[in-house]
Amino acid sequence: MKIYIDPFTYEDPNEAVREFAKEIDVSFVKIEEVIGAEGAETPQKIEKDEEPNCMLAVSGEFGEVYKGRLKLPGKREIYVAIKTLKAGYSEKQRRDFLSEASIMGQFDHPNIIRLEGVVTKSRPVMIITEFMENGALDSFLRQNDGQFTVIQLVGMLRGIAAGMKYLSEMNYVHRDLAARNILVNSNLVCKVSDFGLSRYLQDDTSDPTYTSSL
C-alpha cells in the first residue's frame, strides 16, 4: 500500500508538486464566482475583484477561493473549486501554498477531497479541486438544522470516519479535523479537506509530535 511522503522532505519543494500534482493549462480553467478566502478563518475585508465575471472577494492570507469550470481535452466540463495565490507572494508563501497540492495529490479515496491539478506556469498560481455543492459541514448543518434523518447523519459520519481511516493507513495525520474542514456534495457525501496545516506545523521543531506523518 502507498504511504504518504511529506513534501517538505524534498530538497526542492517544486519537485514534490511535479510528482504529485498534474499541471493544468490555464486556458482550460474558467473562474466564475468567489466562494471564500484561502487561509482565513474569518472574513477580513471585502474587496472588489478586477475580473468582471467574479463577485466580491473576501481577502484571505493566501488569496481567494472561487467556483469555476474545468474542461480538459477529451473530457466533459466539470465544476471545480479554485484556490488562488495572491500577487506579490514570496517564494516561501508559494511553497507553503503548493504544499497542500503535493499532499492532496497523494490521496485517492471517495471521502477525501480530490485534487484535479495545479496552475503554476501562469498567474495567479492555482490549486484546483473537485467542487462540493453544499460547502463546509458546519455551516451546512446550521442552515439545515433538524432536516436530516438519522440514517443521513450516520451516513455522513461513516464517510468522515472512512476518510480519516484511509489517512491513518497512509500514515498521514490531519491535525485539524473539524466540521469546517469537511466538505459536503449534493449527495450528502462528506469529504475531508484542508491539508495545509502541516506547512505551519513543520516549522515548529520544539515539539516532535508536530509532524504530518507517523
Residues that are catalytic: 176
Q: If DSSP codes are grouped into helix, strand and coil, which group holds residue 168?
A: helix
Q: Measuring CA to CA, how many Å separate 57 from each of 46, 88, 130, 194?
A: 6, 17, 20, 20
**Cis ω on the peptide bond leading into residue 110 (within 30° of 0)?**
no
63-70 and 78-84 strand pairing: antiparallel
For 15, list phi and psi in degrees, rounded to 5: -65, -40
Cell 480519516 found at:
164
For residues 19 and 22, what is the distance between their CA atoms, to the nearest angstrom? Answer: 8
Torsional sign, CA 134, 136, 137, 142: negative
DSSP designation for 207:
S
Count other C-beta atoms under 10 Å from residue 205's C-beta. Answer: 9
